[in-house]
Amino acid sequence: MKKIVLAIAAALTVNLAYAQGNTDGSSKKNVFATESKKFTLSTVTDWMKDNGVFQNLDVSVTAGTTGIGIDVASRVHENVQLRMGYEYMPRFKKSIYFPVEVGGEPAVAYDDAGNRVETTFDRLSKMLHDLTGFTVEDEVEMVGKPTINNFKFLVDVFPFKNKHWHVTGGFYWGPSQFAYAENSTSAMSSLLAVSMYNQIYQKCVNDDPIIDIDGDGTAQNPGMTIYFNEAYRQRIVNYGRMGFHVGDKKDSGEPYIMEADAESGMVKVRAKSNSFKPYLGFGYGGKLMKSRDDWQVSFDAGMMFWGGTPSLITHDGTNLTKDVENISGKVGTWVDFLGGFKVYPVLQVRFTKTIF
Query: Average pLDDT in the 282-293 region?
Result: 92
Please say whether the beta carbons of 136 and 128 come within 8 A. Answer: yes
317 has pLDDT over 50: yes
User: Could you report the per-residue pLDDT of 104-143, keeping only the tens digit for each?
Assistant: 888 899 988 889 999 988 888 888 888 778 788 888 889 9
Map the chain to HEC letters. CHHHHHHHHHHHHHHHHHHHHHHHHHHHHHHHHHHHHHHHHHHHHHHHHHHCCCCCCEEEEEEECCEEEEEEEEEEECCEEEEEEEEECCCCCEEEEEEEEECCEECCEECCCCCEECCHHHHHHHHHHHHHCCCCCCEEEEEEEECCEEEEEEEEECCCCCCCEEEEEEEEECCCEEEEEEECHHHHHHHHHHHHHHHHHHHHHHCCCCEEECCCCCCCCCCEEECCCHHHHHHHHHHCCEEEEEEEECCCCCEEEECCCCCCCCCEEEEECCCEEEEEEEEEEEEEECCEEEEEEEEEEEEEECCCCCEEEECCCCEHHHHEECCCHHHHHHHHHHHCCCEEEEEEEEEEEECC
How far separated are the first and last CA of the chain, in Å rounded? 82
Query: Average pLDDT in the 238-243 region?
Result: 88
Mean pLDDT score of the chain, rounded to an integer?
84
Query: Average pLDDT in the 61-71 region?
Result: 96
Please say whether the beta carbons of 275 and 173 come within 8 A. Answer: yes
222 has pLDDT over 90: no
How far is 229 from 237, CA to CA, in rounded Å? 12
The residue ranges of every structural domain in the chain are 1-51, 58-354
pLDDT recorded at residue 127: 82
Q: Around Cβ 9, how many Cβ atoms within 10 Å? A: 10
User: Could you report the per-residue pLDDT of 137-193, keeping only the tens digit for each?
Assistant: 888 889 999 999 999 999 999 999 888 999 999 999 999 999 999 999 888 888 888
How far is 156 from 170, CA to CA, in rounded Å? 9
Lowest mean pLDDT among 37-46, 66-75, 85-94, 287-296: 37-46
Please say whether the beta carbons of 338 and 313 come within 8 A. Answer: no
How far is 103 from 119, CA to CA, in rounded Å? 11
- To the nearest whole percent, how much of the chain has pLDDT over 70? 89
Lowest mean pLDDT among 95-99, 301-305, 311-315: 95-99
Pairing of strands 268-272, 58-64: unpaired
User: Could you report the per-residue pLDDT of 18-56, keeping only the tens digit for each?
Assistant: 444 444 444 444 443 444 445 577 787 777 777 778 889
Sign of the dihedral defined by the CA atoms of residues 198, 199, 203, 209, in that order:
negative
pLDDT recorded at residue 38: 52
Q: Around Cβ 324, how many Cβ atoms within 10 Å? A: 22
How far is 180 from 314, CA to CA, in rounded Å? 10
pTM of the model: 0.74
* Among candidate residues 317, 315, 304, 311, the one with its CA nearest the CA of residue 335: 311
Q: How confident is the model at residue 274 (pLDDT cuts 50, 70, 90)?
A: very high
Contacts of 294 (CB under 8 A, 6+ apart): 353, 354
pLDDT recorded at residue 294: 92
pLDDT recorded at residue 223: 81
